[in-house]
Amino acid sequence: MNWTSEYNKKLVSADEAVKVVKSGDWIEYGFGTTAANELDKALAKRKDELWDVKIRADLGVWPHYTLDADPTGEHFCWNSWHFSGLDRKYYKEGLMYYIPMKFHELPKMLRNDAEPNNVFMATVSPMDKHGYFSFGIAAPSNMAAIEKADYVILEVNENMPRVLGGNQECVHISMVDYVVESSNPPLPTIKATEPSDAEKKIAEHIINRMYDGCCVQLGIGGIPNAIGSLVAESDLRDLGVHTEMYVDAYLKMTKAGKITGKYKSIDKYKQVFSFALGSQELYDFIDDNPGVASYSVDYT
C-alpha cells in the first residue's frame, strides 16, 4: 500500500475539513498540546452556521478560538475534562463547564460512558513511512476518542515530536478521514516554577526516603522541580520513571545520569509517561528517543 497516496487523497484545508461538523455534534479535541489549533480557528468562522456544538477538551494550552468567537455558548459549548490555568479563567467567567473524572479512567469513560463524540480533531506529528502519525507529547486518551468518532481529522504540525511507543501513542492513516497541514506554530511551553523555601524543605524530606532503583512519579510545580534538582546532585542511582506527566525535572535527572530504569519490573530501561508539558528542550529530548515511551493514561 502506498501510504503517501492515501495521505494525499485525504489532504484538505482546515476550512474544508470542519465542514463535516453539524449543529448538535459533540467534538472531542486531542489532549492538551494535541488540541487542533488551526482547525478550532477554522471552526470558529462557522459560528453563525452552527448551533449547540459541544466541544470537549482537556488541559487547554492553545487559544480557544471557538469559545472567544461565541461567549454566549449558543453556538459552541465548551467542556473540559481537566482544567488548565487558561481553562479556569474561562470557567470563572461562566464560559466553560467542568466534567469531573479520575484521570486514569478517561479512556474508559470515552469508550463506554460519555456521550459519543461525532468528530475527533487533534494535532499530530508528520506521518512516517509506515503511515502512522504520532500523538507526540500527549497521548492520554486520543485513541479512545478516535474509536468513537464518525470523523477523524488530524492537523499535522512539524514541531510535534515523534514519540515512540508505548501503546496507543499513534494513529494510522487508514483510520483518518481528513488531514490538514498546519502553519507549524511552536508548541506551547511552560516555564519551570521556582520552588519556595517550604517546597525545598518538603523535597528534602522526600529525597531522604528515596533509594537506589526506586521508581519516580512527579507532577507539576515547585516541589517536583526541587526534587529533580536534589536528585541530580545526590548519590542516588538507577532510578526508574513511570508517570502520568513528564516534566523538566526528569530531564535534569536524566542528564545527571540518575535514571536508567534498570530495576523496573515493567518497561525495564524505559521512561514511561502519558503526556509531557515543559520546555522546548524537554520536547527535543523526547523526539524520536527510544529511551522514553508514551502510553494511554489508563496504563500510567
**Residue 196, phi-psi category: left (phi > 0), alpha (psi -120 to 50), beta (remainder):** beta
| Identity at 245, one-letter amino acid code | M
38 in catalytic set: no
| Residue 216 φ/ψ, nearest 5 degrees | -115, 130
Closest CA to 252 of 227, 215, 277: 227
Considering only CA atoms, which of 125, 119, 129 is closest in space to residue 182? 125
Q: Are 249 and 219 in contact (CB under 8 A)?
A: no
Helix ranges, the chain (H): 3-10, 14-17, 37-44, 65-69, 85-92, 106-108, 142-148, 197-207, 222-232, 248-255, 280-286
Whole-angstrom Cα distance, residue 85 to residue 107? 23
On the CB side of 182, CA atoms within 13 Å amount to: 27
In the structure grid, which three cell numbers stand for residue 70, read together? 461565541
Q: What is the per-residue DSSP string for 72-105?
A: TSSSEEEEESS--HHHHHHHHTT-EEE----GGG
Residue 109 grid cell: 469513560
Cα 66 from Cα 78, distance rounded (Å): 9
Catalytic option among 38, 105, 244, 281: 244
Identify whether the C-beta of residue 231 lies closer than 8 Å to the C-beta of residue 255: no
Nearest to 65 by CA among 49, 48, 44, 79: 44
Catalytic residues, by residue number, are 244
